[in-house]
Structures are given as C-alpha cells and as structure tokens.
Amino acid sequence: MPTFNGSVFMPSAFILIGIPGLESVQCWIGIPFSAMYLIGVIGNSLILVIIKHENSLHIPMYIFLAMLAATDIALNTCILPKMLGIFWFHLPEISFDACLLQMWLIHSFQAIESGILLAMALDRYVAICIPLRHATIFSQQFLTHIGLGVTLRAAILIIPSLGLIKCCLKHYRTTVVSHSYCEHMAIVKLAIEDIRVNKIYGLFVAFAILGFDIIFITLSYVQIFITVFQLPQKEARFKAFNTCIAHICVFLQFYLLAFFSFFTHRFGSHIPPYVHILLSNLYLLVPPFLNPIVYGVKTKQIRDHVLKVLFFKKVT
C-alpha cells in the first residue's frame, strides 16, 4: 500500500491486534468469549423457536423479545468469529471495506437493540398505565412500523460515519488497530487529518440514539412505578411489577456497560488500553449472553416452554 512521509495513504487493509497488553493470554481469553457466544446463540435461538411455535406468545411483549433475540445473534456473529480468528489462529488482517462493513453492522445492531428496549418499555407503559388501549395501540401494523423504524434509524444514522472515514480520511499513521474489532473511534484516531467532525458526529449519533432512548425508557418506568404503587391490592402491584423485572435487568446491564465503554474510550486517557478493549468486548458480548438467561429465569411463560422443550414434557 502507498506511503507518504511515513504515513499510509488509503490503506487496503488494517491489522487488528486484539487486546493490547494481553496478547500472550488472548488464546485463553477466547475460551470464555466463545462459551458466552455459544450460550447466547443457543439461548436466543431457543427463544426464537419457542415464540414462533407458541401461538399464545404472539403478543407484543414476546414479539419484541424475539426481535431482541435475533438482534443479539446477529450482533455477536458480526464480532466473535473474527475476534477468535485473531486470538486463536493469528489472522489479524481485515480489508478496509470489510472493516467498514463490520463497523456499520456492529453499531447498527447496537442501535437496533437500544430501539427495541425502548419499544419494550413503551409496551409495558401502555399495558400497565392504559391497559384498555393496549390492543388498539400495539396492533400488528404498529409493530411492523416499530421494527422498520428502529432498523432504518440505526442504518441511516450510522452510514455518515462510514462516509466521513471513506471520503475524508486518506492518510493514516499506521494500519495497526489496537482493538479486537473495527470500532469507530479506534479507526478514526489512526488518521492524520483533522478528525473533529468525526468525533462530533460520533457523539451526536450516540446521544441521538442512546440518549434519546434512555430518556424515554426512564420516563416510561417512572410513570409505570407511579401507577403500580397506586394500585390498591398488594397482589396486583406485585404482578404488575413482576412483568417489568426482566426488562429492567436487561435495560440496566445494556446501558451501564454502554456508558462505561463509551466514556472510558473517549475520556479515560489514564486507563490502561486493555481495560478499554475488554470493556468494549464485554459490552457487545455480555448482553446477548445474559438476555436469554434473564428472560428464561424471570419470565414464567418462557421458562415453562424452555423446560417443555428440554425435557419433552408439559410443565405444570
């Protein structure tokens, strides 16, 4: 690839080194990562199969859960095969266009997952606060529009980030990326040109998607808690709150990991690089691994059908 004054002009490929500082133990780190991936894929696939074949689960709450499971499988599959290729088979090279594609897929699926979590919070809000209108509001057509909306929002908002890299960043200090996947800022920071526009747009996308979703999820649950605590019967309060526990757990672990990863990568200059990368990896791998476990444990309908599938008998 051509060089100019020690820089690389329009590189054809990047070298992903994995987790800087932990290269000697990456082969061992790959073992729990691959286990998390397999458990996540199996668990989410099981949820998809159960929801597809059980007509009683063809309601908004479980349709959104199926969307979340499909997104988790896709997100993990975008990352882990290449990551394990680096850790186990010493295959660090990735073409420039493949790197941009991976970046677009990863950040798009992250944004889609956030949008689905918002839709699930709104579903619980309507079901608990205005239950008589739930069936009218969450019609099949509305569910389709939500699915298309969160997908298009993610894809459209992420595309300019790739365009800015492809069209505006021509010279790179090096093609060695201190990361285990093609993360936006990890690539942008290699460029010699002014990257302020890239940084500003990255922050805009993060707050336009995650910030917007967090605000409305929080508002939804504030209103839900107010409504639940106003119910006269303790049993009714417990039942209403119990339908939200799984979603609250998923919401907290997704956004807490997101913010730790986001802010340490941009503002944690004193934090060792391997901590940045491990947090980024865990942010992408842990939610798809935990989501089916959380919903399997906390949601009776899912739990009963999982046991029915596993043990081939009806759970009473």
pLDDT per residue as tens digits for the range 38-87: 999 999 999 999 999 888 899 999 999 999 999 999 999 999 999 999 99
pLDDT at 2: 61
In the structure encoding, which two tokens stand for residue 186, read together?
């990890």
- Residues 285, 80 contacting (CB under 8 angstroms): yes
Q: 9-309 adopts what CATH topology? A: Rhopdopsin 7-helix transmembrane proteins (1.20.1070)
pLDDT per residue as tens digits for the range 236-275: 778 777 778 888 888 888 888 787 777 766 666 678 888 8
pLDDT at 315: 44
Residue with the two structure tokens 């409305």:
216
Tell me the mean pLDDT in the region 225-234. 84
User: Per-residue confidence at 316, pLDDT binned at 50, 70, 90?
Assistant: very low
Tell me the CA distances in angstroms from 160 to 104, 114, 245, 309, one per residue in order: 10, 19, 37, 44
Tell me the mean pLDDT in the region 3-23. 84
pLDDT per residue as tens digits for the range 267-299: 666 788 888 888 889 889 999 999 998 888 778
First vs last Cα of the chain: how many Å apart? 65
Give the phi and the psi of residue 153 in degrees, each rounded to 5.
-55, -45
Across the chain, mean pLDDT equals: 89
Tell me the CA distances in angstroms from 292 to 46, 59, 165, 228, 249, one per residue in order: 9, 18, 36, 26, 12
- State yes or no: pLDDT of 152 exceeds 90: yes
In the structure encoding, which two tokens stand for residue 192, read together?
């010699």
